[in-house]
Structure 1
Amino acid sequence: MTAEILNWTGHMLRARRKDLGRLKTRDEAKRTGVYVLFGSGDDGEPAAYIGEGDNVVKRLENHNSTKDFWEDVVIITSKDMNLTKAHVRYLESELITLAQNIGRVDLYNGNVPSGGAALPEADESDMKYFIGQIRILMPVLGFDIFRGRSGQNASVASPPGLDTSASPQNETSGTEAVSESSDSPIFVMNTREGANAQAQIIDGEFTMLAGSVIPDAMKDNPEMAESTRKSFVVRKAQHAKLLEVAEQSAITGMVTLIKDVAFTSPSAAGAIVYGRASANGRLTWKTEQGNRSLGQWEKDQANQ
């Protein structure tokens, strides 16, 4: 599978490990570039390795015999073949740092990037733009490794429909931290019990922000209808994963998220804040000024 953006010199190619023989016939794979290996770690969670090479496919042949974890690879090269060794060393270092900060996937590169290359100012600017395009296309190819807020530094396992990534330890969070990849203003949701959550649409995902205060337990009701019980079981499982990335709050019965958490929908996030099976997220989440609901904001965006 290949991916390009009009007027961008970059080119991205995804392939399965079992198709390495076919991949070796592709001209793109023989160029100077960076690559990302994707697979699963010993714990079954997503894992990746980011590397670079003058001839990418030769590096992949080496990894085929030395690394067991990977099943897929994304190769990033240039259509005009103007990427030099210095460029790809810079890209490798920056992408490793970005992936570590976002923290959605465990990296096999270790804790410290392998080291970039010093580039002229104009080239560095070009490579930052290059990285921006990579961040757009990587989810299109099926991988969220660069999706989310940067400035974060840990990875946490998550169930389907619930992705977590770390929050900065010593930086602002919640309503004070507006992502460079944010697609929306910050929305807030409060409850009488003391919950106080903040969220943004980041890279297309409804993301509850670190610093949000949510209930430490879901409210079970033995008289729930069967359909409601099914929803409650799903939300309770999601809530249990949230507790792994939360710490005790000063408010009784509440915990505070220490990491950003991406949800499949605003309603799923709203249900967690309420501590119950369901919620209408497009009504319950409101702008910080309280004058517009998420649904109203989406309607305004559509009209614009």
Structure 2
Amino acid sequence: MQQLLVGVEDHMAVGKQVRLFLVDGSPGGMLTAEIMNWTGHIMAAGRSDLPELLKRDEVKRTGVYLLLGDDPNGSYSNAIYIGEADEVGERLRIHSRSEEKGGKDFWNRAIILTSKDANLTKAHARYLESRFISIAKNAGRSFVTNGTAPVPLPLPEADLSDMEQFIEHARIVLPVLGVDSMRAVPTMTNLEPVSVGSASKSPVFEMTVTSEGILARAQEADNEFVVLAGSKARNGWVGSTPGYSKLHEMLATDGVLVSDGSLLEFSKDYVFKSPSAAAAVIAGRATNGRVTWKDPSTGLTYAQWQEHAVEDAQSVENDVVNPSSSEQRHNLP
């Protein structure tokens, strides 16, 4: 058995301690996750571990479960199904059957969200299920296989507050487990540098394709590259290799990219996994985003901006270790 302690930061940049426990000592096996002073409890297991998972007490509780796998339609990289049950294990047993027998074929991993004090009721679980479905759909990071979000059962005001707090903690832990389906998309309210860590700020980067009249803007937030609404993109894929052509097509189909005459325009802020993925979709061909995205105020490319941040951090460290060197630099004519 193996235990890991992971430090993460929430949206207020306040540290959170997430405790992970590897049940069989294997990083690919069953694990539990919890936050100190939180009554919630999360358990993750692969589909092949289901026989062992069903023996555990956690699956006999009321709670919410997530089924994760590849998107069967191929539009997104992954798919998710969100459900709730009085006894989560029984529902997982049904979903483990083939499609012909009423189960689900797409998933290969299950996440169970319950409470350590066993105080989650049916009404609580229904509320959480409904909210998680809505959150996942709004995030747009995964294909949500649920048709619609069920209407939650009415809850007292105090219970509503408790469930929203449960959701807030779950959304911190799930990305630590590699589940980004409900991770909030950074919202850029203005074109000002935003904090992306304890020591660095992201400028507003720009990318142009002069021959096409394309101008796009983006910022990095929470280690994700966000192209801002209103940015332009090529109206079609012209690259000699497929590359990100499927992503370009998907964004147009889903209304993220909308027609603006001869070009396409981002209808909302959109998160890309890398600057190059964003650059390729905008240019309509494979492009090295590390050099095509530039800070217009300094002329630095995205890559140079990162390099300068590392060099600045090293200079600060050197000044702390050897203050006289900093003094000498400042006294230079």
Q: Does the alignment reach a TM-score above 0.5?
A: yes
Contact 1:210 1:257 in 2 (8 A): yes
Report the Cα distance in structure 1 between the residues aligned to 2:93 and 2:116, rounded to whole angstroms.
22
Q: Does 1:29 align with 2:59?
A: yes
Q: Does 1:286 align with 2:295?
A: yes
Which AA in structure 2 matches 1:114?
P
Change in CA separation of 1:203 and 1:12 when aligned onto 2, cut-off 3 Å: farther
Q: Does 1:124 align with 2:160?
A: yes
Which AA in structure 2 matches 1:56?
V
Report the Cα distance in structure 2 between the residues aligned to 1:258 and 1:195, rounded to whole angstroms.
15
1:136: Cα distance to partner?
A: 1.9
Contact 1:187 1:198 in 2 (8 A): yes
Partner of residue 187, structure 1: 204
Partner of residue 24, structure 2: none
2:79 is paired with a residue whose SS is: strand
Q: Comparing 275-284 with 119-128, which one deviates more in the overlay?
A: 275-284
Q: Does 1:269 align with 2:288?
A: no
Partner of residue 309, structure 2: 299
Report the Cα distance in structure 2 between the residues aligned to 1:47 and 1:240, rounded to whole angstroms.
17
Which AA in structure 1 matches 2:272?
F
Cα-to-partner distance string for 1:171-219 (whole Å, 9 max, x where unaligned): xx976699xxx87767241424432223243553212234320234678
Change in CA separation of 1:86 and 1:297 when aligned onto 2, cut-off 3 Å: farther
1:99: Cα distance to partner?
A: 1.1
Change in CA separation of 1:174 and 1:205 when aligned onto 2, cut-off 3 Å: closer
Change in CA separation of 1:204 and 1:67 when aligned onto 2, cut-off 3 Å: farther
Q: Does 1:201 align with 2:220?
A: yes
Which AA in structure 2 matches 1:13?
M
Report the Cα distance in structure 2 between the residues aligned to 1:298 and 1:124, rounded to whole angstroms.
46
User: 1:1-304 counterparts in 2 under 5 A?
Assistant: 1-40=31-70, 42-43=72-73, 46-65=78-97, 66-69=102-105, 70-110=107-147, 112-149=148-185, 187-191=204-208, 192-193=210-211, 194-216=213-235, 233=241, 237-239=243-245, 241-245=247-251, 246-250=257-261, 252=262, 254-258=263-267, 260-270=269-279, 273=282, 277-279=286-288, 281=290, 284-286=293-295, 290=297, 295=305, 299=309
Give the TM-score taking structure 2 as reference length. 0.65
Change in CA separation of 1:190 and 1:204 when aligned onto 2, cut-off 3 Å: closer
Contact 2:69 2:109 in 1 (8 A): yes
Q: Comparing 210-219 with 69-78, which one deviates more in the overlay?
A: 210-219
Q: CA RMSD in A?
A: 3.7
1:141: Cα distance to partner?
A: 1.9
Aligned pairs, number:
262
Contact 2:68 2:81 in 1 (8 A): yes
Structure 2 unaligned blocks of 5 or more: 1-30, 252-256, 317-333
Structure 1 unaligned blocks of 5 or more: 151-172, 221-231
1:132: Cα distance to partner?
A: 1.8
Give the TM-score taking structure 1 as reference length. 0.70
